[in-house]
Amino acid sequence: MVKIPRALTIAGSDSGGGAGIEADLKTFAALGVHGMAAITSVTAQNTLEVRLAYDLPPEVVVAQIEAVADDIGVDAAKTGMLSNSGIIEAVARTVKKYGFPLIVDPVMIAKSGAPLLRPEAMDSLIKFIIPIAYIVTPNRYEAERLTGISIKSLDDAKKAAKYIVEELGAHAAIVKGGHLDGDYSVDVLYYEGRFKEFRAPRITDGCYHGTGCAFSAAITAEIAKGKNIDEAVRIAKEFITKAINYGMD
């Protein structure tokens, strides 16, 4: 019998289909993984703005995770929009209970500028979610919020990635280079005491809506398949670069 890898996304729903749960499930399918979802928040969203966000009760989020984990099983999971402290703490408890690897996309602000993480929830994210993360995938601004380090260069990104692992307790961290300057977008991975860089030519006129979601989902899919961290990130970087370059606006 052929075993299909199983990946779970714990995140918000994007009614426009370009980010969040919808982007994650499309990415899982594109990479040959069975996708499952635990919805944390329902958003009224398109490519331009988030018009409304409604958080589900934490116990409903937990029930979704438990339902799929108890029956289908989870080879790897990712988080996206977690919104508030109650959801964050409930998700952390449940993930620890099952023990599957968790890829954390520390979603804070939508591309349109709408806040997706309540200010008081930042401490909860750092205290409860980051320490149980297998890989954390912040962009420049998210990494600055998590670490307090001003990131203006590749060296700054390396310091932030190392801080997320050594000080905040994640197993691995990759600080994405999409918001830095230069001809290349360079993502910096740190784990087990070493750095690795993943480079791609910078695309100035591509499609960026939902790219953070799809990138972390691609890593999750590859981890679910049994790939190591280096290989999972390499494939995800290639996948998202093509998506940005060939995506339809």
Pick from 70-74, 108-112, 147-151, 160-164: least confident: 108-112
pLDDT, one tens digit per residue, over 75-100 is 999 999 998 999 999 999 999 999 99
User: Angle at CA 46, nearest 5°, toward 44 and 52?
Assistant: 25
Burial letters for 72-100: b for 16+ Cβ neighbours within 10 Å, e otherwise?
A: eebbbbbbbbbbbbbbbbbbbebbeeeeb
Name the phi and psi angles at 239, rounded to 5: -60, -50
pLDDT, one tens digit per residue, over 160-180 is 999 999 999 999 999 998 667
**DSSP state for residue 109 in the 8-state scheme:** B
In this prediction, residue 130 carries a pLDDT of 97
Burial of 146 (0-12, 13-18, 19+ CB in 10 A): buried
For 51, 69, 148, the CA distances from 138, given in Å and listed in that order, are 24, 26, 13
Taking alpha carbons only, the member of 81, 76, 33, 45 closest to residue 61 is 81
**Where along the chain do its domains lie?**
6-246
pLDDT, one tens digit per residue, over 57-68 is 999 999 999 999
Please tell me the distance from the alpha carbon of residue 33 to that of residue 4, in angstroms, as a whole number: 6
Q: Which comes out higher in pLDDT, residue 50 or 169? A: 169
**CATH superfamily membership of 6-246:** Ribokinase (3.40.1190.20)
Taking alpha carbons only, the member of 103, 86, 82 closest to residue 232 is 103
* Token reading at 79: 């988080």
In this prediction, residue 146 carries a pLDDT of 94
Answer for the pair 137, 108: CB distance below 8 angstroms, yes or no.
no
Q: Does the pLDDT of residue 112 top 80, yes or no? A: no
Q: Which SS3 state, helix, strand or coil, does residue 104 take?
A: strand
Please tell me the distance from the alpha carbon of residue 202 to that of residue 244, in angstroms, as a whole number: 10
Q: Does the pLDDT of residue 144 top 70, yes or no? A: yes
Name the phi and psi angles at 241, rounded to 5: -65, -45
